[in-house]
Structure 1
Amino acid sequence: MTKYVPEFVFELIELAYNLIAYMRVGKQLKSQNADMLYERYSLFMFGGVLRARRLGIPVILEVNDAAIVERVRPLFFKGLARRVEKWVFKKCDGVVFISTNFKNTVEREHGVIAPSVICPNAADIEQFTLAGVDRTQVKKDLGLEGKAVCGYVGAFVYWHGIDWFVKEIAPRLAAEPQLALLLVGDGVVFEEILAVVRDNGLQGQVIMPGRVPHEKVGDYIAAMDYGILPDSNEYGSPMKLFEMMAMGVALVSPSFEPIAEVVEDGGTGWLFPPNDRKSAVEKVIELSKDTQNIERVGEQAESYIR
C-alpha cells in the first residue's frame, strides 16, 4: 500500500487499524490472563494502550520512532499524529527509549510523560559470533587475503551516507593497496556506487556482493577487520553497530549522542564529527595501517557488547 496509495490514504488506514488492534489485543490479553502489555509504539496507534487501560493491565511502550523527529516518510496528518502520540505517552505506564537524546526530545516536545528508561539496541550474540569461524579463510574466499578490510552492512540509501563515503575515498584507494572495502547490501544508490568503483578501476579493492540472506550476514562480517558507519541521526540506535561490534568489528562512526553513549572513542570504536566526511575517510585510511589497534579495539568492542 505504501507504494501505490497517497500518504494521507495510508495514514487513514493506519488510524483505522486501531479498531482491529483494539479487538485483537483485548482478546489476547483476556485469553492469556496477561499481567502486562509490552508494545512497540507505532505512529497513530492508540488501540493497545486504550484496551489495556480499560482492562486495568499495565502497558509499556518501546519507542523507536516518533512524530516529532525527522523521518524518511514525511507525515501528512502531522498534528494529529502528535496529539495521538502525546496521549499514549502519558496514558501508558512506562516508556522504553533507545537513547537519551530521544527521551529528552520527547519530553521537551510533549511535556510530562509516563516514567521512562533508556535501553539501546543490542545484538543476538548466538547468531553474531566468531565462535568456530576462520576469519582468515573467509577473507581468502572473498579474495581479501592480506588486506585490512573495512566493511559496511546495510541499505544502500542516501541517508546512510555510503554513497558519499565511497565517492570520497575512491580517488585515494589506489594509493592505499593495503586497504579493501567490503560493502554488503543493496538499495537505490547501489548502481551509482558500483559505477564509481568501475570508473576508478577498484573492482579488486572494493567488493560488493549485493543483498545477502540475513542468516549469511555474519559470514561477511567475519571477513571485516573494522567497519564504517558513514551517517546516522540524532536519536537512533543503529542495529548494525551492535551486531558488528558483537563479532569483534569496531566501527568508525559519527559522534551522534546515541552512538557516543555506547562507543568509547579509541576504546570500543572510533568517532568522527557528524558530516565531517574528510575526517571519516582519513580515519579509515589511518586505521588500515595500524592492524594492532584495529584488533585491540575490536576485541574490546566484542567484550563490551557481550
Structure 2
Amino acid sequence: MKVLYHHRTQGKRVEGVHIRGVANALRELGCEVRVVSFPGADPEREPVAATTGEGKGRLATLVSRLPGVLFEFAELGYNLVTWWRIRAEIRRNRPDFIYERYSLFLFMTIWIARSEGIPIILEINDSAVVQRLRPLWLKSLARRIEAWCMTHATGIVFISTYFRNLLADHYGRLPPSVVSPNAVDARFDPTRCDRDALRRAQGLEGRVVCGHMGVFARWHGVPGFVESIIDRLDEAPGLTLLIVGDGEDLPAVRREVEARGLGDRIRLPGRVPHHEIPQWVACMDYAFLPDSNEYGSPMKLFELMAMGVAVVAPDYDPVAEVIESGRTGWLFPRKDVRACVDQVLALCGREDERERVGAAARAYIERERRWRNNAQQLLSLLPGAQGATA
C-alpha cells in the first residue's frame, strides 16, 4: 500500500519523533511511505547533537518572524505550495491514501484528495478552537476552514478523547475517527540499558531519583515545581531530582539551584539528543509531570512509562486516559503544584509501590502504545477496513 504522508511543520523535537514513529510503523506493516515535508525540513533524519536552539531553514526563519496576521496570511498562502507539491507527488507515484498532520489554514490537500478520489486521513494535534501559545488573529476564517476540513476528510486521528469530543461539539458530526495517543519505539526498553552502570556514571548510586524530561517554560510547570520543592527537600533526604531539558527558564532555575547549594540534589544536565533519552530515563526510579494542557498527549509520559518509570501527573483528561491512578501512575489535581510536590516526596520512601506501578506502566505501553498500534488504528479508517468509530 502506497502512503503519501504530508505535513507543514519543521519536524523538530516532538513533531519529528511523532512523524518518524508513524511513518516507520506503517513501513513495518508493509506500506510504502513517502514523507513530504515543509521545504528544508527533514524529520526522518533524527538529530544527533544536542543544541540549545534548533536550526531552521531560511524560509521557515523568515516566515516565523512575520507579525501575527501576516504570519497567518503566509500560512494561507502555503496552500499554493501544497497544490504544486501534492499534485506532483500524485503524478509521480499515485498513493493509495494520503495521511496529513493537520495544520491551521491548510485545506488544499483535502481539496486535491477529494478531486482525485484518494482517501485522506487527518491527524489532529492542533485546532482553532483551543488556546494556543501564538495568538490567532484570523480566528473566524481559521474555524471555517477547519470545519470544512474536519467534515470532508475520509477519517480523523485524534490524540485524545477530549480533543475528539471538543471538535465534535464545534463542528457537528465528524467522519469515522480513532483516538490514538502518542507512543514509543523499541529503543524505550529497560532491558536494553545497564541501569546500575548508567547510575554510577552519573553519580546516582544509592539515591532515589525522581526525574523529568521536557522544556523549561512556565506552561510546562517545571520552574514552579522547582520553586515549590526546593525548600522541602529535607523532608526526603535520599531524594535527587534529575531534570533533563532546556528552555528559556532553565538559566534562572539553574542560578537558583546553584545559589542554594543544591546542585547535587537537583541535577540539570540540559538538553540531550533524543536517542540518548532512554539512558537518562534508566537512571530514574519515578518521574513527575508538573503540568500539561486539556487536549494534548505528552510524549514524555509514554517514553517514561515504557522504561518502567511511573509518573506523578496532573489529572487532565488525556493524561487520565493513559494513567490509572495508583496502578500505572499517580494523578494529582491539575494546577495544584503543592499536591504534585507532596506526592513526589511521599513516594521517595515507597520503593515497593514505585516498582509495582512502574512495572504496570511498562506493561500498558507494551500492550497498547507502541507506534505499531497507532499505525494499525489509522489503517482501520480506510474504506472497507474495520475498527473505526463514527
Secondary structure at the aligned position of 1:151 is classed as strand
Question: Which amino acid letter does the alignment assign opposite residue 114 of structure 1?
Answer: P
Following superposition, which runs of at least 4 residues in structure 1 exceed 3 angstroms of deviation?
none
Determine which structure has greater relative contact order: mean sequence separation of CA pairs < 8 Å that are 6+ residues apart, divided by chain length: 2
Cα deviation 1:256-289 (Å, max 9, x = unaligned): 0111111110111100010111110010000011
What is the CA RMSD across the aligned residues, in angstroms? 1.2
Question: Which amino acid letter does the alignment assign opposite residue 131 of structure 1?
Answer: T
Aligned residue number for residue 66 of structure 1: 127
Aligned residue number for residue 117 of structure 2: 56
Shift of 1:60: 0.8
Secondary structure at the aligned position of 2:191 is classed as coil
Shift of 1:3: 4.7
Give the aligned length.
305
Structure 2 unaligned spans of 5+: 1-61, 367-390
Seen in structure 2, the aligned counterparts of structure 1 residues 14 and 222 have a Cα distance that, compared at 3 Å, is same
1:33 equivalent among 84, 87, 94: 94
- Counterpart mapping for 1:173-188 below 5 A: 173-188=233-248
- Counterpart mapping for 1:225-264 below 5 A: 225-264=285-324
Q: Equivalent pairs: percent with the same residue?
A: 47
Aligned residue number for residue 386 of structure 2: none
Aligned residue number for residue 44 of structure 1: 105
Q: Is the 8 A contact 1:22 1:50 kept in 2?
A: no
Shift of 1:243: 0.8
Aligned residue number for residue 208 of structure 1: 268
Q: Is the 8 A contact 1:26 1:52 kept in 2?
A: no
Shift of 1:200: 2.5
- Counterpart mapping for 1:272-283 below 5 A: 272-283=332-343
Partner Cα separation in structure 1 for residue 319 and residue 170 of structure 2: 22
Secondary structure at the aligned position of 2:231 is classed as helix
Cα deviation 1:156-214 (Å, max 9, x = unaligned): 11110001000000001134221000000000110121122123221111110011111
Aligned residue number for residue 213 of structure 2: 153
Partner Cα separation in structure 2 for residue 267 and residue 19 of structure 1: 50
1:19 equivalent among 77, 80, 88: 80
Aligned residue number for residue 106 of structure 1: 167
Secondary structure at the aligned position of 1:131 is classed as helix
Partner Cα separation in structure 2 for residue 211 and residue 98 of structure 1: 25
Cα deviation 1:3-52 (Å, max 9, x = unaligned): 52202111111111111112211222232221111111011100100000
Aligned residue number for residue 92 of structure 1: 153
Partner Cα separation in structure 2 for residue 172 and residue 141 of structure 1: 27
Structure 1 unaligned spans of 5+: none
Question: Which amino acid letter does the alignment assign opposite residue 124 of structure 2?
Answer: V
Q: Is the 8 A contact 1:245 1:305 kept in 2?
A: yes
Cα deviation 1:224-279 (Å, max 9, x = unaligned): 11111000011111000001111111100001011111111011110001011111
Partner Cα separation in structure 1 for residue 184 and residue 192 of structure 2: 18
Question: Which amino acid letter does the alignment assign opposite residue 108 of structure 2?
Answer: G
Partner Cα separation in structure 2 for residue 14 and residue 157 of structure 1: 26
Q: Is the 8 A contact 1:155 1:187 kept in 2?
A: yes
TM-score of the superposed pair, with normalisation by structure 1: 0.97
More displaced stretch, 253-262 vs 211-220:
211-220
Q: Is the 8 A contact 1:148 1:288 kept in 2?
A: yes
Partner Cα separation in structure 2 for residue 175 and residue 266 of structure 1: 22
Q: Is the 8 A contact 1:99 1:120 kept in 2?
A: yes
1:116 equivalent among 161, 177, 181: 177
Partner Cα separation in structure 2 for residue 12 and residue 40 of structure 1: 20
Partner Cα separation in structure 1 for residue 192 and residue 178 of structure 2: 36
Cα deviation 1:63-95 (Å, max 9, x = unaligned): 010010011111111111111100100111111
Shift of 1:2: 5.2
Secondary structure at the aligned position of 1:121 is classed as coil
TM-score of the superposed pair, with normalisation by structure 2: 0.76
Seen in structure 2, the aligned counterparts of structure 1 residues 160 and 303 have a Cα distance that, compared at 3 Å, is same
Question: Which amino acid letter does the alignment assign opposite residue 270 of structure 2?
Answer: G
Shift of 1:120: 1.0
Aligned residue number for residue 203 of structure 2: 143
